[in-house]
A and B are shown apart, each in its own frame.
Chain A
Amino acid sequence: MHGINNPYRPIESRVIDVITETPTIKTIRLKPKEPITFKTGQFVELTVPGVGEAPFTPSSRPSQHDILELTIMKVGKVTEKIHELKKDDIVGVRGPMGKGYPVDSFKGKEVLVVGGGCGFAPLRSLMYELFERSGELKKLYFRGGCKTSQELLYKEEMGEWLERKDLNMKLTVDKGAPDWKGSVGVVTTILDDVKMDFSKGIAVVCGPPIAMKFSTKKLLEMGFKPKNIYLSMEKNMSCGIGKCGHCRIGIYYACKDGPVFTYDQIKDFHEIWD
């Protein structure tokens, strides 16, 4: 069976750097043997040889084809092993999978990006893409929240983003600290000064399920249309090609039809935030 692509085989990749972001989150820089071209919002399965694989949305620049960055929180069996990875270790990558953010359709629109905790990872990749297209956008907002300033991802870059002229940005932490100059409170508390025609605006939300649930509720109250709210759904994506069944949401599979869905697509299904 030559010439047939085996969808279950990972592409050999070398770890070229491991960056400790927070006590529980690391960014793994990878160089795959074959280039992996992804659209922002698509995800990959990262294999730790002999241990297993887990799904992650790259946090790197989509236009950078030879290097992939994955920002990963230590939460389970596979991610524990990922956190033990060192430079020059060999891992595997399958993907990209699913559908990304439809950034072409954001042209000429006002865009609000809302992130929580580890949700900053996929959003960093999206923001890179949007910065490259910032001339196309009418306005760009970023509102981010995490538990404490210690758990804030990409601290240095966040500082640079705050300086950008093409971005209106605010950060908040649930629990304040003496060294924290931003807001204190959950992310929904820093959305009130966003000024745009909400009925036409685009909102992108990525974060823990609870943050997505309450952000979506708030965005709807503000006047965003369900079809203009983009959510990244965290489900148990395994095969990545809509076969193994695990990540079903209503009539969709998060792996092939998502992981990015509009709220309109999934609002009538049960168990979406669980």
Chain B
Amino acid sequence: MNNYFISRDNFFKFLENLKSEYDVFVPVKSHDQRFYKKYESQTDDILVGEVRPFEPLKAFFTRAREVVAEDFKNEIPHSNDKPIAIVGVKACDLKGFKVQDFVFNDSELQDPFYIKNRTENLIISADCTCVIETCFCVALGIQPHPKDNFDLNLSEQDNGFLVEVGSEKGNDLVKKYSSLFDKPEQKQIKKREELRNKISSSAENNLKESGVPHQDNFQNIIETNYESDIWADEAKTCVECGACTIICPTCHCFLLYDQKDDEKMRRLRVWDSCMIKDYARVAGGANPRPKLFMRLRNRFEKKFDFFPKVANLYACTGCGRCISACPAKIDIRKVLKRLVENARNK
């Protein structure tokens, strides 16, 4: 699709304009932490490039806690909220959409909350401009620059960005604010390719250093290793906090719970974690996974066995968030490496 150039000054004017239609969220970096912040005005902490923020993109599409029904009314709660524009989304998080779309935008059983957000929200993604130690997206077949699933994509240039249009919605915005966008120069396109190649090879180097196997080796690693000691060994330090699943861009499980106050009844949906003991327990007492190692195995089974079978994709984006989030230092790369090696030796 079409490419444009936007200067840094015009980029902030563009965000300013977007505020009338959207709640705009931008990535910021502060004290070495990367997270999203609601955009109010141009500040120094805004950082479009580098790598994904710590929060997963899914938080803008299925919220960590939201009301999904009130009383017996069919209306969709908070359906009049302003849509959200998210800036600086990275390629790994865009892959998360493929999993979330499969779950919530099922052709037969659709989730109206997710669909509304997916239809109305705006994605302004960006190329990664560096790689951090935990990055392993290339093992999952992802390049650290977005290829699809965005409305506009930004590639850092001297004093601005090269803008790639990825959707009708993105195209309309460029047309609407055409005075802010310029024709790109050939050397800018060339620079984008150079930068992308550079970041891709540092991502590849990351893999080599950590020895993470490529996804081509993942076939049957769960079934082959089902009875292996790897699970119990890896689960030894797990504290069952659920951080790995909460922070994961592909994990989608939730819990419904009901509240009643002042005669008003509310049904809430909150993120849930399959690592928690009672996750699959039924009221009668049966629990298919009473032991922690079974739940760790189940987490990997869902990602590396269930999703490839039902949706033809691994539910991992290589974003590395679960590695940073785990207080017990359970490292998904190491687990995958052990599974692949053990399967090979069988």
Contact = CB atoms under 8 A, between A and B. Distances in A.
Given A4-B76, A6-B74, A6-B112, A50 B259 contact: yes
A4 B259 contact: no
* Best-surrounded residue of B70, B109, B112, B281 (most CB of chain A within 10 A): B109
Contacts of A235: 280, 282, 288
B112 A76 contact: no
Interface residues of chain B: helix, strand, loop or mixed (majority): loop
A188 interface: no
Contacts of A270: 226
B272 A244 contact: yes
Interface in A238-252: 238-239, 241-248, 250-251
Contact of B72 (A4, A92, A256): A92
Contacts of A209: 286
A251 B75 contact: no
Interface stretch (B47-55, B136-144, B302-310, B319-327): B302-310
B69 A8 contact: yes
B69 A10 contact: yes
Contact of A243 (B70, B109, B258, B282): B109
Given A6-B74, A246-B279, A51 B253 contact: no
B76 A234 contact: no
Contacts of B72: 9-12, 33, 92
Interface residues of B, number: 48
Given A236-B282, A274-B286, A7 B256 contact: no
B280 A246 contact: yes
A79 interface: yes
Interface string A206-239: 0011000000000000000000000000111011
A8 B281 contact: no
A12 B281 CA distance: 28
* Best-surrounded residue of A5, A50, A52 (most CB of chain B within 10 A): A50
* Best-surrounded residue of B112, B286, B287 (most CB of chain A within 10 A): B286
B103 interface: yes
A75 B284 contact: yes
Given A47-B258, A256-B109, A245 B252 contact: yes
B258 A51 contact: yes
Interface of A: 1, 4-12, 33, 47, 49-54, 73, 75-79, 92, 208-209, 234-236, 238-239, 241-248, 250-251, 256, 270-271, 274
Interface residues of chain A: helix, strand, loop or mixed (majority): loop
B254 interface: yes
B283 A242 contact: no
B302 A244 contact: no
B243 interface: no
Contact of B283 (A75, A243, A247): A75
29 contacts: A1-B79, A5-B74, A6-B68, A6-B75, A6-B76, A8-B68, A8-B69, A8-B269, A9-B73, A10-B69, A10-B72, A52-B256, A52-B258, A73-B284, A75-B284, A75-B285, A76-B283, A79-B283, A235-B282, A236-B279, A239-B256, A241-B106, A242-B103, A243-B252, A244-B256, A244-B272, A246-B279, A250-B306, A271-B288
A47 B267 CA distance: 10
Interface string B287-322: 111000010000000100010011000000000000
Contacts of A241: 106, 109, 111
A246 B253 contact: yes
B260 interface: yes
Given A8-B69, A9-B69, A248-B302, A238 B283 contact: no
A49 B267 CA distance: 9
Interface in B259-285: 259-260, 265, 267, 269, 272, 274, 279-285
A246 B116 CA distance: 24
Contacts of B69: 6, 8-10
Contacts of B310: 251
Given A6-B75, A49-B258, A50-B258, A251 B306 contact: yes
Contacts of A274: 286-289
